[in-house]
Structure 1
Amino acid sequence: MDSALDSNVLVLNKLWQPIHTCSVRRALKLLCLGHAQVVEAEGASKYQTHDLGSWLESSAEKLAEGVVRSVRFAMRVPKVIVLAMYDQLPMKEVRFTRRHVFLRDHHTCQYCGDCLPEHQLNLDHVIPRARGGRMSWENIVTSCFQCNNRKANKLPHEAKMFPRKQPEAPRWRPLFGFRRGGTMDDSWESFLY
């Protein structure tokens, strides 16, 4: 069973753009150090920020589910925090993995267009390795087993099979690396969409 300290908190930069998630434990450290403030919704489109002191006061008035307790106080678990200083979006490269290629191509064979589960998909080299093709974002596409076998060791023009879209490295998006098994809180919706 996960403790409240391990649940997810949405992290916003100082421009209120989502940049990633962290554990409640990490969010409370940032709050205690003065590097972040808790964001609390007050109605549909109004928000209030709290430093550690005001969050403790607010928590004392509205204790509900998701509480962290110590000997001296009880505090509500924050759902969203905003960083005090950081105003950029971190630019990261998406790691080249089989799963990320499938995500980039929406689990769709790039030759026949069939959308299939992962266990029925394969990776295909647009330019075969035997002909100098590399293992890179720009040369790998998702394919079904039938199309991969039919294309075999041929170039696209030889097999008359062309990818539906030009393969390229995906652009990193905030929350691309959202922690697996985590759940998104309803209070995040206005920041994500």
Structure 2
Amino acid sequence: MQQVAALESSVLVLNKFFMALHVVSAKRAFALLCKETAEVISIDDGKFSSYNFENWKDVSLYKAKSGLPEEDNVSWIRTVSFEIEVPKIIRLLFYDKLPQSSVKFNRRNIFARDENKCQYCGQRFPTSELSLDHIVPKTYHGKTTWTNIVCACTECNKKKGGRTPEQAGMRLKRKPVKPKHSPILSLKLRSDKYRSWKQFLDEAYWSVPLK
């Protein structure tokens, strides 16, 4: 289970010019490193270092054999032949396109915006136990937009049915809005684990105090 969790760890992806693009899983990050289309960016004592996959394996091996206590918020992948630390940041060596100026409207970003909380009962659920609800149903010409879609748990979704919240006697916990910045990045930055991402993001992302 730890290995699976480590492979699903979040890794910030930068473009060739060190500008933040998006977040991928560690599994995807390692695939890019193995293809030699990306490098690891490590920040130690305020200094930047870059490593290709083989060099990062050597660095990880040194850390593993140093006998020092493992750092907090660091994930490891352990195979039969070697151990390797999951990087927190990678840089694409040949991708020079600029970050998107608007946030993509998709399920992943809606779950992140609503913090995996049902917007009717306020409880947090695994993504698999949440659905996306049209506040104003499609039967009433409700649109599929940031301001009309929210997360809803199974029970609340059943209770609301094909009605508006008012008709169902329900109230939203907060008014849905279109996020100005990636909700996934904003959510991750609340954790100390991703402090190193700050240096590559606009201050608006991390103005909220870390939890």
- Which category of TM-score, normalised to the shorter sequence, fits these structures? 0.5 to 0.7
1:61 equivalenced with 2:62 (yes/no): yes
Instruction: Point out where structure 2 has 5 or more consecutive residues left out of the alignment.
Output: 65-69, 123-133, 151-164, 167-176, 207-211
Instruction: Look up the SS of the partner of 1:30 in the other structure.
Output: helix
Rg: which structure is higher? 1
How many equivalent residue pairs?
Answer: 153
Name the CA shift for 1:36/1:174 in 2 (closer, same or farther; >3 Å): farther
Aligned match for 1:135, one of 143, 150, 161: 143
Instruction: Look up the SS of the partner of 1:11 in the other structure.
Output: strand
Q: CA deviation at 1:124?
A: 6.7
The structure richer in helix per residue is: 2
Q: CA deviation at 1:189?
A: 2.5
| CA distance in structure 1 between the aligned counterparts of 2:20 and 2:60, rounded to whole angstroms | 24
Instruction: Point out where structure 1 has 5 or more consecutive residues left out of the alignment.
Output: 105-116, 143-147, 150-167
- Deviation string 1:10-66 (CA, Å, 9 cap, x unpaired) is 11111212221111111111101001100111212x211100121112112222352
Instruction: Look up the SS of the partner of 2:90 in the other structure.
Output: strand
1:47 equivalenced with 2:37 (yes/no): no
Which structure carries more relative contact order (alpha carbon 8 Å, separation 6+)?
1
Name the CA shift for 1:22/1:34 in 2 (closer, same or farther; >3 Å): same
TM-score normalized by structure 1? 0.57
**Partner of 2:95 in structure 1?**
86
- Deviation string 1:91-131 (CA, Å, 9 cap, x unpaired) is 664249xx95xx69xxxxxxxxxxxx932899579xxx6xx
Name the CA shift for 1:191/1:175 in 2 (closer, same or farther; >3 Å): farther
Name the CA shift for 1:35/1:172 in 2 (closer, same or farther; >3 Å): farther
The runs of at least 4 consecutive aligned structure 1 residues that moved more than 3 Å come to 90-93, 120-125, 136-142, 170-180
**Partner of 2:158 in structure 1?**
none
Q: Quote the sequence identity (%).
A: 26
Name the CA shift for 1:79/1:134 in 2 (closer, same or farther; >3 Å): closer
Q: Which amino acid aligns with 1:23?
A: S
